[in-house]
């Protein structure tokens, strides 16, 4: 529950004119902590604002919530990212091998893209180079 050093620290943070607000919220926090403890909650995080208002930031799971969720089976891989690589990559295996067919395909698609881009920009209006006539009138 709330111990005496915690209550003293709260009074050091909050100015005297807000102490009645602090007392109200400390009473509410005490009730909330008692209910969480009775439910089997595994933790409660709260914060105190300088005006005496106490906010509950996080309330852990109760024993009933943990039981309803259930546990993971024993054969679950808890850290799959620790394996270095998947066992079978399938068609993606070519990406990780020095395969000349893949390099030729990529080079061919880049060349085709460059040709299409040149054809599109050939008929596009040319950009004016030099100072803008709007900024520098003759």
Six token digits for residue 108: 């061919």
30-69 pLDDT per residue, tens: 999 898 888 888 788 999 999 999 999 988 888 788 778 7
Residue 36 or residue 76, greater confidence: 36
In a domain, 115, yes or no: no
CA angle 104, 108, 112 (to 5 degrees): 175
In a domain, 135, yes or no: no
In a domain, 15, yes or no: yes
Taking only Cα atoms into account, the Rg of the chain, rounded to an integer number of angstroms, comes to 34
Task: Supply the range of the domain harboring residue 50.
Answer: 4-68
In a domain, 109, yes or no: no
Give the count of domains, the chain. 1
In a domain, 41, yes or no: yes
In a domain, 124, yes or no: no
In a domain, 122, yes or no: no
pLDDT at 11 over 70: yes
pTM for the complete prediction?
Answer: 0.49
């Amino acid at each position: 529950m709330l111990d005496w050093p915690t209550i003293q620290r709260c009074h050091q943070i909050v100015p005297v004119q807000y102490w009645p607000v602090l007392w109200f919220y400390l009473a509410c926090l005490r009730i909330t902590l008692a209910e969480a403890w009775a439910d089997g909650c595994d933790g409660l995080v709260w914060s105190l604002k300088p005006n005496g208002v106490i906010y509950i930031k996080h309330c852990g799971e109760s024993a009933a919530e943990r039981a309803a969720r259930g546990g993971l089976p024993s054969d679950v891989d808890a850290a799959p990212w620790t394996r270095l690589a998947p066992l079978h990559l399938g068609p993606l295996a070519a990406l990780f091998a020095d395969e000349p067919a893949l390099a030729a395909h990529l080079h061919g698609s880049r060349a085709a893209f460059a040709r299409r881009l040149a054809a599109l920009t050939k008929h596009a209006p040319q950009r004016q180079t030099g100072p803008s006539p709007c900024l520098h009138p003759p």
